[in-house]
Amino acid sequence: MAHTGTAKGRGVYAARAYAAGEVVELAPVILFDGKFNAIPSEVRELLFNWSALAGVPVAHGLALGYGSLYNHDNPANLRYEADAASRVLRFIAARDVAVGEELTINYNDARGVHTEEGDTWFAKHGIEAITNADGA
C-alpha cells in the first residue's frame, strides 16, 4: 500500500506483474448479518454486499487482507467473485497488470464486472466521487 498521490489517498499496488485471469488475492470474509445501519459508518464504507455476491440471505462482508481497500476505477484491472462455501472473496486480474500499477475494482457492479457503462455507484450512494488528479 502507498499513497496514490491523489485525493483518493492510499491505494494497493501490484508487487509483481499479473496475467489476465490470474488470481491476485484470496481474501477471507467476515460476515455481518445485522442491520446495515447498525454497523459503524467507518466499517460500512469497506463492506461488500455478500448477499448479492454469494447468493445467500442478507449479509454484508468485510474482506480481509487488501480486499476491502482496493480503490474504484471503471474500467478496473481486477474483478472479484465470492466463494460462499469458503467465505472467500477472490480477486482476479481482468487484464494484464504491470508491476507498480494500482490495483482497482469497479464499485458499480455487485458481481465484480471490471467495466460498466456509466459510473453510478457514488451517485446512488449519495457520495461525491474522488477523482484522480487528472480528472479521471
Give me the residue spans of the domains in the chain: 2-114
Mean pLDDT confidence for 27-34? 89
Arithmetic mean of pLDDT, 101-128: 70
For the cut 60, the answer to whether the pLDDT of residue 3 exceeds it is: yes
CA distance 34 to 69: 22
Distance CA 10, CA 20 (A): 24
Please name which of 33, 115, 51 lies closest in space to residue 77, comparing C-alpha atoms. 115
pLDDT top residue among 38 and 102: 102
- β-pairing verdict for 23-32 and 60-63: antiparallel
The arrangement of strands across the sheet holding 102-105 comes to: 2-3, 10-13, 102-105, 71-72
- Give the model's pLDDT for residue 84: 92
Superfamily of domain 2-114: SET domain (2.170.270.10)
| pTM beyond cutoff 0.85 | no
